[in-house]
Amino acid sequence: MVVDNEAVGPVLNRLRRAQGQLAGVIAMIEAGRDCKDVVTQLSAVSRALDRAGFKILASGMRQCLDRADGTQAPMTEEELEKLFLTLA
């Protein structure tokens, strides 16, 4: 999948932010931090990943529908719905 040029920067920023947050969660667990703090930070990681996934999916929607490279048949509505639901 090729992500739209306009979306690449924001997607990479979100993924890097999530990567940093996940490193923070690991450090918090290793340090024995409070469960509430760990879960709150883990939730932030999850949201960042979801946003990156939605941005990738939204920017690549046309490609997913057309499969312009000709290697696969276009996605059906059901396949596209299943792809969206994987992020839910």
pLDDT at position 38, please? 95
* Whole-number pLDDT of residue 46: 92
Domains annotated for the chain, with CATH where assigned, are 7-85 (1.20.58.1000)
Q: Which residues of the chain have a pLDDT value below 70?
A: 1-3, 61-71, 88
**For position 74, what pLDDT does the model report?**
72
- What's this model's pTM, rounded to 2 decimal places? 0.69
Q: Could you give the residue ranges of the DSSP H alpha helices within 1-88?
A: 5-30, 35-59, 61-66, 77-85
- Going by C-alpha positions, the residue among 88, 81, 51, 85 that lies closest to residue 65 is 81
